Chains A and B, each alone.
Chain A
Amino acid sequence: MKDRCDIAIVGGGVIGLSIAYNLAVRGVRDVVVVEGGYLAGGASGRNGGGIRQQWSTRRNIQLMQESLAICKRFAKELGVNIWLRQGGYLFLSKNEAETARLEKNIKLQNDYGVPTRMLSPREALEVVPELDTSRFVAASYNPTDGILFPWPFLWGYADGARKRGVEIHTHTRVTAIERGDGFLVRTTRGDVQAKRVVNAAGAWSPEVARLLGIELPNWPVRHEILSSEPLKPFLRPMVSVLGNGLYFSQSMRGEVVGGITVHEERTNEIKMGSTLRFTQTIARAMIEVIPRFGELKIVRQWAGPYDMTEDGNPIIGEAVPGFYLCCGFMGHGFMMAPVMGKLYADWLSGGPKHEIFDRWRLARFTEGNLEKEDFIIG
């Protein structure tokens, strides 16, 4: 590891790597990424790969439009196939209240050019013929949402960053961060003196911030997910049930990949073990909306940490001079990473600072200026 650098990024997940790559593209190449495990070891490698523009606030809708645009250019720009497939997202509502929520969001989405529309259960059958129409009353459908394969996305950013001079150190844990002439970042494989530090450690970000005596309010929640045997392509959109947080889609490998909310007591412990309770909960929920899933074989299940915040929005911006945060992505960091990396790199390379860096700064939790994003799924 080099002795000195301009920017040290803690966390080799998709957020950290996206920032590193985008910085390097803008000529800021004196960057070191430090990852405690392997690339894709945390939530970045454990998520369902969904990318949607169906959100409930203007900011998130617009950010996700830009993220999707970046995803569409990704293969060409980075030379790696991310298996992006725009099969849409179909949200099922089970009652009037949920339908009203969808309608309100659709109006906002349409205002910003996202072609989401409301479908009756019968119309939804044209999109997914296997659905049991007695199980929902309406659906919102945006055909331009999609899914991608998370792992190559990370490798694309990592290779792109490395080629431009960024150092990426995996299996290298940060043990201390000391202030004074920037930051001395001590790791299990040597120390680096950095002018600036970015905390992109996801569910581990409170631990990293604590090394500087900064308390973060985000907390980890185990989120489980499973994959089926591969089937021939039959399912175009990601299907999600609003009431219980179920979502599932068919990957380009043919597997049905799905997750669901299972409530657990809040703790600060990062749990990544699998539970039978999850398997039972999701099996029942999936069979309820598509009865033929009863015969679908589960091949494996795993878990990853959602990195939760009180208002459903991330924690970004400068916490103390020179120490930047990019965490609290609520299980939706993967889809946010392309645009976040771009905006962060614009700012840190001397370009414009987007208003989200003030809006979503750490201080909002103590100032009480919270705008709630209620379209967090899973």
Chain B
Amino acid sequence: MPKVIVCRCEDVTLRDVQHAIEKGNCDIEEIKRYTGFGTGPCQGKECVWAVARILAEKTGEDVPPFTSRPPIVATAMKYFARPDESDEK
């Protein structure tokens, strides 16, 4: 069977995701942790739908995306280190 990549950042394959589901991981947060999908530079923006689809087909249920983490795009620390109005709080 050809190798199908579902998460390009972390090289997670369709088979990896299926294996995670077979191991009893039944929600998308667990599959993220078990396979590492969605933890690379794109943070799941390219792949979360693909994994959600695999899981939805398996369970027959709606699959919400995993909790998205800030920042929206990878951002250099220096931009957060500058003083700004939120320092007042």
Contact with A along B7-22 (1 / 0, CB 8 A): 0000000000000000
Residues of chain A within 8 A of B1, CB atoms compared: none
Q: Are A297 and B74 in contact (CB under 8 A)?
A: yes
Q: Are A293 and B74 in contact (CB under 8 A)?
A: no
The distance in angstroms between the C-alpha atoms of A294 and B39, with both chains bound, is 22
Q: Are B80 and A283 in contact (CB under 8 A)?
A: yes
Q: Are B29 and A277 in contact (CB under 8 A)?
A: no
Q: Are B78 and A297 in contact (CB under 8 A)?
A: no
Contact with B along A104-119 (1 / 0, CB 8 A): 0000000000000000
Q: Are A38 and B81 in contact (CB under 8 A)?
A: no
Contact with B along A276-319 (1 / 0, CB 8 A): 11011001101100000111111111100000000000000000
Chain B residue total in the interface (Cβ 8 A)? 27
Q: What's the interface size class on A, roughly? A: 20 to 34
A155 at the interface (CB under 8 A from B): yes
A187 at the interface (CB under 8 A from B): no
Q: Are B74 and A286 in contact (CB under 8 A)?
A: no
Residues of chain A within 8 A of B41, CB atoms compared: 229, 299
A136 at the interface (CB under 8 A from B): no
Q: Quick one: which of B39, B40, B70 has the most chain A CB within 10 A? A: B70
Residues of chain A within 8 A of B71, CB atoms compared: 279, 298, 300-301
B57 at the interface (CB under 8 A from A): no
Q: Are B43 and A299 in contact (CB under 8 A)?
A: yes
The distance in angstroms between the C-alpha atoms of A274 and B33, with both chains bound, is 19
The distance in angstroms between the C-alpha atoms of A280 and B67, with both chains bound, is 21
4 interchain residue pairs of minimum CB distance = A300-B69, A283-B80, A294-B78, A297-B74
Binding site for A on B (CB under 8 A): 24-27, 29-30, 33-34, 39-41, 43, 67, 69-71, 74-78, 80-81, 84, 86-87, 89
Knowing that A280-B87, A294-B78 are A-B contacts, what are 6 other residue pairs whose CB atoms are under 8 Å apart, sorted by A's residue number?
Answer: A38-B25, A38-B29, A279-B80, A298-B74, A299-B74, A300-B39
14 examples of A-B residue contacts, CB within 8 angstroms: A151-B34, A171-B26, A276-B70, A279-B80, A280-B84, A280-B87, A294-B81, A295-B78, A299-B40, A299-B41, A299-B74, A300-B39, A301-B69, A302-B67
